[in-house]
């Protein structure tokens, strides 16, 4: 028996998936993170190549650990020991079969809002990998683009900067001050309003609080 909150999430997800369909994005709903992990893995095909962007959500559902220990061709930037090695991995990621990430926010009309520091994550979302699979908790849903941007700046960025050990103003004060700090992670903003290649982007909505 679903709780009222679970039913609310499911109803909201159904509405979002309809909006995704209009935008050329495939949408799926999973009630739990365990179900989300299984759904994400079902996309993978034998012998495929995979990579991912920095994401607490992917960590929390256990996907990154499973990919690292899989038989797939894995491009993991964390294994690079030099900048040259990291650049080489980024080049491989640009044409991998499956790229996993989360979204910083999702609007009620189905737009994806992402803000990045170096831009490697949003670059892969925009172009390159054959398939992009996004896993996002329902806590990422915001009513409007303005609300989505506020969510990114004041709910996602501060804890992420703390997690990364960055000395940004938001890490100190817990809120965005529109900084231009050298370690700022809010450098590139991408709003995905449509996938030109239908079905390239797939979004797995999860009825739990995941990530920041």
Q: How many domains does the chain have?
A: 1
pLDDT at 11: 95
Query: pTM score, two decimals?
Result: 0.95
Can you give the CATH number for the domain in which 83 is found?
Answer: 3.40.50.10420
Alpha carbon distance 154, 110 (integer Å): 21
pLDDT at 141: 98
133, 98 in Cβ contact below 8 A?
A: yes
79 inside domain: yes
Q: What residue ranges in 17-156 does DSSP mark as E strands? A: 26-30, 49-52, 73-74, 98-101, 105-107, 112-116, 131-137, 141-142
Alpha carbon distance 93, 26 (integer Å): 22
- Structure-block tokens of residue 107: 């609007």
34 inside domain: yes
| Mean pLDDT by groups of 10 residues along the chain of 212 residues | 90 97 98 98 96 96 96 95 95 97 98 96 97 98 98 95 94 94 96 98 97 95
136 inside domain: yes
58 inside domain: yes
Domain interval for residue 32: 4-141+193-206
Alpha carbon distance 19, 121 (integer Å): 23
99 inside domain: yes
pLDDT at 2: 80
194, 23 in Cβ contact below 8 A?
A: yes
């Amino acid at each position: 028996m679903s709780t009222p909150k679970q039913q609310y999430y499911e109803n909201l997800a159904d509405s979002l998936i309809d909006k995704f369909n209009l935008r050329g994005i495939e949408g799926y709903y999973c009630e739990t993170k365990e179900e989300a992990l299984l759904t994400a893995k079902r996309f993978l095909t034998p012998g495929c190549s995979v990579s991912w962007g920095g994401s607490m959500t992917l960590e929390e559902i256990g996907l990154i650990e499973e990919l690292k220990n899989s038989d797939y061709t894995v491009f993991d930037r964390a294994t690079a020991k030099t900048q040259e090695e990291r650049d080489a991995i980024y080049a491989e990621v640009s044409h991998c079969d499956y790229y996993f990430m989360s979204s910083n926010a999702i609007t009620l009309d189905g737009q994806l809002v992402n803000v990045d520091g170096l831009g490697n994550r949003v670059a892969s979302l925009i172009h390159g990998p054959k398939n992009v699979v996004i896993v996002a908790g329902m806590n990422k849903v915001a009513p409007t683009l303005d609300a989505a941007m506020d969510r990114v700046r004041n709910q996602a960025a501060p804890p992420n900067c703390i997690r990364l050990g960055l000395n940004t103003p938001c890490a100190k004060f817990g809120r965005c001050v529109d900084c231009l700090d050298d370690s700022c992670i809010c450098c590139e903003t991408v709003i995905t309003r449509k996938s030109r290649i239908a079905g390239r982007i797939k979004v797995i909505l999860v009825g739990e609080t995941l990530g920041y």
